[in-house]
Structure 1
Amino acid sequence: MITGDLKNKVDRVWDAFWSGGIANPLEVIEQITYLLFIRRLDDLQTLAEKKANRTGQPVEGPLFQPGQDELRWSRFKSREPGVMFKIVGAGVFPLLRTLGGDGSTYSEHMKDARFTIPTPALLSRVVDMLDDIPMDNRDTTGDLYEYMLSKIASAGQNGQFRTPRHIIKLMVNMTAPQPTDEVCDPAAGTSGFLVAASEYVREHHPSVMTDAKQREHFHHGMFHGYDFDSTMLRIGSMNMLLHGVEQPDIRYRDSLSEGASDEEGSYSLILANPPFAGSLDNESTSKDLQRVVKTKKTELLFLALFLRLLKPGGRAAVIVPDGVLFGSSKAHKDLRRILVEDQKLEAVVKLPSGVFKPYAGVSTAILFFTKTNSGGTDHVWFYDVHADGFSLDDKRNPIEANDLPDVLARGLSASEPGSPERDRARTDQSFLVPKADIAAQSYDLSLNRYREAVHDEVEHRAPLDILADLENLEAEIQHGLADLRALLS
């Protein structure tokens, strides 16, 4: 958890950029990303030098070649602002664009790095502030970066790139990533889902850092993310780096385009909140996906993509707009039928419409399913989330009411034979619905379709008694009017 002191330091860095003439929150975080990356490179070089001194061997894969010492963070941070500005602009950034980095995919996303800090004074201020922030603890650096990412949403711009962290955590905890998983987010954005999955594995499977084979898989083969925004790729890559993942597979890709689904059956877990606004041109959309579901709607195409990318036995937790649950088009019905009849649909968790405020008020739900290609749906578990721990207005202030712990506790046991959920009535907040009932409703997955409303029994008086009371009241009014008339005459 980020402390108040560290939070204030980040706020001061952010304010310095704004007062220095950079107002776009994405540009601010991108420039901070570059500077943090530069600092990370210097830290890696320092570690390699210490190892070389202990072993008496030369430095393995030096990041800075002889004559490039002035480009290191530890060297230029104390230089006069004008000199520092020249070193960073004319030396460090050209190095970033060509450097092999730490041998990871990060360098690929730095090839278009642009230095846009406008003045030496601003650069000097920002470098001093960033140097004062401790970056040697993985949890601290990760929380710092998450806090900076949250500012994209709170600024009201490009917030669609960020899913609330507590919603991500629920989805990750429900799917319980394992050390052997290959996790993919085909609409990765800032890599929030991949980061949360990595943190879950570290916490619940400590052996992943001590077993050589597991550690190699964790750093080089476990995490895969795609996006077609180069800024998001850079930010997402740095997010992974600051959370201790050395070489994730973060790549440029339009996930719905022709040829993007080449990696059929490659992943065992998909976590995603794909974009679902608008539709695509038929010419640019993958024909493989359109063979699964004939549509131009992105939310349906992404679901088809998830099914294609998953291995048999692979599982998914994905956010979809409510329209996917009850849409009446053939494409909507076909895709829901596939989920229920051909795969194993496990749960539909309905989220309140304010979860994505202030930048979106759309109603959404989380779908949990497993790819089987042979059916397996027995019952589908539904949960109606009323509160997520935050107010559902634009301010999203913390509140006491929070259903998410209950969702997790009930959801993990919902499919078990002796689960208490099997005895829940459809008037409750959560309940199970047999597959046959869903099929009978054209595979409608909206919770309200199956919820039973509770009607309070109200006893009414006999109509003749009510009429008698009205007649008595009318007689009293007439008597009063007669008395009033007598007084006035």
Structure 2
Amino acid sequence: MSISTIVKSIQDIMRKDAGVDGDAQRLGQMAWLLFLRIFDEQELDLEAESNDYQPALPAKLRWGAWAATTITDPDTGEEKQNPKTGEALLTFVNDTLFPTLKSLPATREKNPRGFVVKKVMEDSYNYMKNGTLLRAVINKLNELELESLDDRHAFGDFYETLLKDLQSAGNAGEFYTPRSVTEFMVQMTNPKLGERVIDPACGTGGFLTCTIEHVNRHEVKGDATAHRTLQRQIFGVEKKPLPHLLCTTNMFFHGIEVPDQIMRDNTLARKRDYWKPTERFDVVLTNPPFGGMEEDGIEKNFHDDMQTRETADLFLQLIVHILKDKGRAALVLPDGTLFGEGVKAKIKEMLLRDCNLHTVVRLPNSVFAPYTSIKTNLLFLEKGEPTRDIWYYEMQLPPGVKAYNKTRPLRVEEFAACAAWWGGAQREGRVENAQAWKVPFGTLKADKQSEAKPYNDEAKAQRLLVSNLAHAIKELKAQLKDADADGKAALNTQIEQYQLEREQALEAEKQARAKADGIYWPIYNLDSPNPHVKASTLGDPDALLARHGALQTEIEATLGQLQAVLAAALSGKTV
């Protein structure tokens, strides 16, 4: 039976249960059950590999002890239906399983796998009220032949199904990053064995699983020592309980035995000094939430002149901060970040000063359909040197495809032309073509700084004049207390004159600053259009007017014919 069929069957069963209210609770229920099922499969593998392995959970809490569809009769040795169902099953889950797992005496040091279970189950709940229906759901999950699913993409399909349901359940901002996009971003970033890799908004772990597969394929190749290194180089942070649970499950399924580095937290809530230089990362891969706003106070963790509550803007700052020098990042960002002004421009100034934003891949606006129609971009950068040239590559819809959708998503092979153009790890030999162009940002910035310099110099001069006048006014006011009537009059006249000059200087400074800003800040509009595509025009005005007149004549003639037909019909005549 296919995964999608099993998922649908489980959902149908849950809809009959009075305790499960809506899609979000159905997904939460399915997620913790699946987690425990996969965890136990891995426990069996670890026990088979080593006689010294100590199980992470007490025997009575193992999936095979309470959830197996069939059990072996201790008297006859025959297989029979598991009698734990109905009220007995419900009582066990509510009164034994959950309380014990949530209070499991497991630490990261002494029982790391048990510690992972404890942390995951702390945010999980049994919503089902009917033990018989719960048994039916468990039996369906037991139909998943996890040990035979060599193609991990099949399990990725399961997650995609859950995420689609999660989106329809009203969790705005959570959407599935297409497998083709994650594969391409990982391929171009090329994480190496031993490099610390993080997704600070990891969701269900799509980028992390792609990274694991990439490193396994290119470097681990079955080597046990390399596999142990890979185990400890993957990091993720997810704010919401359900995606975090799914991500942890996904790590188990991809061979990460102790995914305690997948943390449930809000990465943005951590102060800047949380990330010690020795704890920063070689690679960041992420599709941060965009279009959302963070809670009050989160912005205080960022520099004063770049404080905002917009999630995507905060993540962009965070990514630059947590990267090591020479570290690499690939992230998904909306068009709004590219062309945004104000704080967004300040953030981009920092980004292009501290990092080499070497490539922007522009995606068609239907790549993330049906979750969002927002046009998105893939940004690739390296920390440590300022940006000199930004290469843009515009992905186009294949011939005959009007838009991507659920049945016709973006396929990884459609990135082949971009990958071939890329130029390898050093990005050598790139040339402009119908889809690729270069913006010499470093030269542009130098030119605009030079052009704006006279106005900046004027603004500084006016600011100095404002300061000097303020000092002079202060001194004159101090003299008033000792002056006679004539002296006070003269002093007040001088003070008024200086105050007028100060106001004029402030206005002059403001105007000079505005002219300088008008020259400089537009360079941070990174929404560069493809110069090889001619802008569409409406045509010659005279020809358009002539065509309009002809159409108007045709319309009037048609209306005349209709009126004649209607009049004839009303009078009983034929036309």
Query: TM-score scaled by structure 2?
Result: 0.68
Stretch deviating more after TM superposition (106-115 or 290-299): 290-299
Distance 1:292 1:189, change over 3 A: farther
Kindly indicate whether the alpha-carbon contact (under 8 Å) linking 2:364 and 2:397 is maintained by their aligned counterparts in 1.
yes
Q: How far apart are residue 175 of structure 1 and its match? A: 0.8
Kindly indicate whether the alpha-carbon contact (under 8 Å) linking 1:317 and 1:367 is maintained by their aligned counterparts in 2.
yes
Q: Quick one: distance in 1 between partners of 2:218 and 2:49?
A: 30
Q: How far apart are residue 453 of structure 1 and its match? A: 4.0
Which residue does 2:377 correspond to in 1? 365
Q: Which runs of 5+ in 1 are unaligned?
A: 471-489
Secondary structure at 1:63 match in 2: coil
Q: Quick one: distance in 2 between partners of 1:294 and 1:12?
A: 47
Structure 2 letter corresponding to 1:160 = G
Kindly indicate whether the alpha-carbon contact (under 8 Å) linking 1:316 and 1:369 is maintained by their aligned counterparts in 2.
yes
Which residue does 1:12 correspond to in 2? 9
Q: How far apart are residue 395 of structure 1 and its match? A: 4.5
Is 1:81 paired with 2:85? yes
Which residue does 2:435 correspond to in 1? 429
Equivalent in 321, 327, 343 of residue 308 of structure 1:
321
Which residue does 1:341 correspond to in 2? 353
Equivalent in 190, 194, 217 of residue 204 of structure 2:
190
Q: Quick one: distance in 1 between partners of 2:392 and 2:249?
A: 36
Distance 1:47 1:392, change over 3 A: same
Is 1:327 paired with 2:344? no
Which is helix-richer, 1 or 2? Answer: 2
Which residue does 2:126 correspond to in 1? 115
Secondary structure at 1:320 match in 2: strand
Question: How do 1:151-162 residues align onto structure 2 when only pairs under 5 Å count?
Answer: 151-153=162-164, 156-157=168-169, 158=171, 160-161=173-174, 162=176
Structure 2 letter corresponding to 1:346 = H
Is 1:60 paired with 2:140? no
Distance 1:269 1:456, change over 3 A: closer
Q: Quick one: distance in 2 between partners of 1:118 and 1:438?
A: 65
Q: Quick one: distance in 1 between partners of 2:400 and 2:442?
A: 36
Distance 1:67 1:392, change over 3 A: closer
Q: How far apart are residue 341 of structure 1 and its match? A: 3.4
Structure 2 letter corresponding to 1:396 = K
Kindly indicate whether the alpha-carbon contact (under 8 Å) linking 1:193 and 1:272 is maintained by their aligned counterparts in 2.
yes
Q: Quick one: distance in 2 between partners of 1:332 and 1:8?
A: 45
Q: Quick one: distance in 2 between partners of 1:225 and 1:313?
A: 20
Q: Quick one: distance in 2 between partners of 1:325 and 1:11?
A: 40
Distance 1:400 1:254, change over 3 A: closer
Structure 2 letter corresponding to 1:348 = V
Q: Quick one: distance in 2 between partners of 1:215 and 1:49?
A: 18
Is 1:451 paired with 2:462? no
Q: How many residues get paired?
A: 444
Kindly indicate whether the alpha-carbon contact (under 8 Å) linking 2:178 and 2:368 is maintained by their aligned counterparts in 1.
yes
Q: How far apart are residue 348 of structure 1 and its match? A: 0.7
**1:91-142 CA-partner distances (Å, limit 9, x unpaired):** 2222322334734534312123211122122112112111121011464566
Q: How far apart are residue 60 of structure 1 and its match? A: 2.2
Which has more radius of gyration?
2
Is 1:206 paired with 2:220? yes
Identical columns (%): 23
Q: How far apart are residue 317 of structure 1 and its match? A: 0.5
Secondary structure at 1:337 match in 2: helix
Question: How do 1:462-473 residues align onto structure 2 when only pairs under 5 Å count?
Answer: none
Secondary structure at 1:168 match in 2: helix
Q: How far apart are residue 292 of structure 1 and its match? A: 6.8
Q: Quick one: distance in 1 between partners of 2:219 and 2:92?
A: 43
Q: Quick one: distance in 1 between partners of 2:535 and 2:125?
A: 63
Q: How far apart are residue 308 of structure 1 and its match? A: 0.4
Q: How far apart are residue 210 of structure 1 and its match? A: 1.4
Kindly indicate whether the alpha-carbon contact (under 8 Å) linking 2:180 and 2:410 is maintained by their aligned counterparts in 1.
no
Kindly indicate whether the alpha-carbon contact (under 8 Å) linking 2:28 and 2:124 is maintained by their aligned counterparts in 1.
no
Structure 2 letter corresponding to 1:81 = T
